[in-house]
Structure 1
Amino acid sequence: MAKRPLILVTNDDGITAPGIRTLISIMNTIGDVVVVAPDSPQSAMGHAITINAILHVEKVTIDDGPQTEYSCSGTPADCVKLGVREILDRKPDLCVSGINHGSNSSVNVIYSGTMSAALEAGIESIPAIGFSLLDYNWNANFEHCKSFVKTIAENVIKNGLPKDVVLNVNIPNITKNEIKGIKVCRQARANWEEKFDKRTNPMGRDYFWLTGEFVNMDKGEDTDEYALANHYISVVPVQFDLTAHHAIQQLNTWEFNS
């Protein structure tokens, strides 16, 4: 009898978030699930790791599913590191992160704890996927995501991924019948035009709230933003090699050593 895949599940919204509870239930239909997830929300932590404080890991029971679960005091990247190095007895066949409450399309991938956990798994040569739903509501309805999440995960297990590549999957906040399909695309050239709301506390000390508007400058029809706006699930292959290879030749014409 074939051994079921071993699947590591994590997120950045915290181990009790509805998104990860949905993801766990889906993965339980595919393989043997071990959860290592933050004990509190870690959104927008990027690829932060804990080096100047201790980490706590506690085995927990959140619901009555067959999965094994651990709550971690660290970041999403910490969770993957601990899962691989200290908790699992072998390298997992798949790591899935999410389902995130909110978008991780376009430039948001840089800030995302969800995607940083997937990238950390990719660094360990583990096929990995980050899943996000474009709904920031804690009580978001993930029901329409389930079949698509399962299909994408099963394809990764079956086919593998290119070396050093992980998938960034974003799901529009619409009904299942409105979703037109799954589209493989590129990351849109977009960014946040940020502002700081400056205020003063009762003690006279200034403080700031970060605000901003997301602006998409990319008019291409092959981007994640275009796919999502047109009712497709976007799948973007992401690499953790940040080298701008196209710039190397130009930089080599500079007179660094003159």
Structure 2
Amino acid sequence: MITDRPLILVVNDDGITAPGIKVLIEEMQHLGEVVVVAPDGPQSGMGHAITIGKPLRLDKVELYPDVEMYKCSGTPVDCVKLAVNRVFKGRKPDLCVSGINHGLNNSINVLYSGTMSAAVEGAIEGIPSIGFSLDDFSYDANFNHCRPYVRSIAAQVLQNGLPKHSLLNVNFPNDSFDLQGIKICRQAGGRWVEEFDERLDPHGRDYFWLTGKFQLEDRGEDTDVHALQHGYVSVVPTQFDMTAHHVIPELNSWSFDIPND
């Protein structure tokens, strides 16, 4: 793995055979030497989960020409950890890209996303990182309109780097839009209103199927949701420091009376 070209780690949460990762691999091959470490099956909604208490498998596979590829039995974050510690053997990649996810990771979805958590893990490791997602959950989603933007955004990160402890969350409208360009946005305020569909299994035991609807609580025109609704590619600078810094002064004004008993 000795090359003068930028070394690019590609990961996802839809699994190593997903169409979205194939598009990402092809676009990254224009920019550098690509190494893929991805889950052996779908891992959507895993967030920043890691595997403990059971072994991880890492197997080399050959799916695409001239690409070093490994499938991992663990989560997207496991994939990044194994890539950094075992595959690259101490050499840090120049870029980590995750996706292209089948489905949006805008607004609050960033917290649940395996795609974005893999990119976050890359940033934790000090690697400039990007998560890419498309507003289309179907297996045969059309990613062609994303290609030039994927390459352009990745090239800019390779050229300019990113501030420490930050990464990019990039979301694309589906192919029903004529893309208007890129908008740098903030994350929209929103949440999922969950419902649990209760059913019976063949043995008469209750089980639950999670459903729900996304509830937008933010009508700002500078958000990722607004940009996507108007045909723009949304780019949200993201960080993994979850400290509510603006709350610290208020907490410092409290009097904490410690009971003596």
TM-score (normalizing by structure 1): 0.97
**Retained in 2: the 8 A contact 1:144–1:175?**
no
**In 2, Cα distance between equivalents of 1:173 and 1:238:** 22
Report how far residue 247 of structure 1 moved: 0.6
2:173 equivalent in structure 1:
172
Q: What secondary structure, in the 3-state scheme, does the structure 2 residue paired with 1:248 have?
A: helix
User: Aligned partners of 1:81, 1:74: CA distance in 2, in Å?
Assistant: 10
Equivalent runs, 1:101-120 vs 2, <5 Å:
101-120=102-121
Which segments of 5 or more consecutive residues in structure 1 lack a partner in the other structure? none
The equivalences for 1:136-175 within 5 A come to 136-174=137-175
Cα offsets for 1:35-69 (capped at 9, x unmatched):
000001000000000111100000000122x1100
The residue aligned with 1:36 is: 37
CA contact (8 A) 2:198 2:206 kept: yes
The total of aligned residue pairs comes to 255
Match of 1:73 in 2: 73
Distance 2:183 2:208 in 1: 39
- What is the identity percentage for the equivalent residue pairs of Structure 1 and Structure 2? 61
Offset at 1:113? 0.2
Runs of at least 4 residues of structure 1 off by over 6 A? none
Measured in 1, the distance between the counterparts of 2:60 and 2:256 equals 54
Instruction: State how far apart, in whole Å, the 2-side matches of 1:202 and 1:50 are.
Output: 31
CA distance in 1 between counterparts of 2:57 and 2:127 reads 24
**Amino acid across the alignment from 2:49:** A
Q: Tell me the equivalent position of 2:219.
A: 219
Given that residues 101 and 138 in structure 1 are in contact (C-alpha distance below 8 angstroms), is that contact kept between their aligned partners in structure 2? Answer: yes
Cα shift at 1:175: 5.0
Cα offsets for 1:62-85 (capped at 9, x unmatched): 122x11000100100000000001
Partner of 1:18: 19
Q: Distance in 2 between matches of 1:175 and 1:88?
A: 39
Give yes or no for contact 2:56–2:73 (8 Å, CA) kept in 1: yes
1:131 maps to 132
CA–CA separation in structure 1 for the residues paired with 2:255 and 2:76: 42
Amino acid in structure 1 at the alignment position of 2:61:
V
Aligned equivalents of 1:175, 1:124: Cα separation in 2:
37
Say whether residues 1:252 and 2:243 are aligned partners. no
Give, in angstroms, the shift of residue 254 of structure 1. Answer: 1.8
Supply the AA of the counterpart residue of 1:41: P
Q: Is the 8 A contact 1:107 1:189 kept in 2?
A: yes
Q: 2: distance between equivalents of 1:243 and 1:257?
A: 24
Supply the RMSD in Å over aligned alpha carbons.
1.1
Task: Give 2:86's aligned residue.
Answer: 86
Q: CA deviation at 1:96?
A: 0.1
- Give the structure-2-normalised TM-score: 0.96
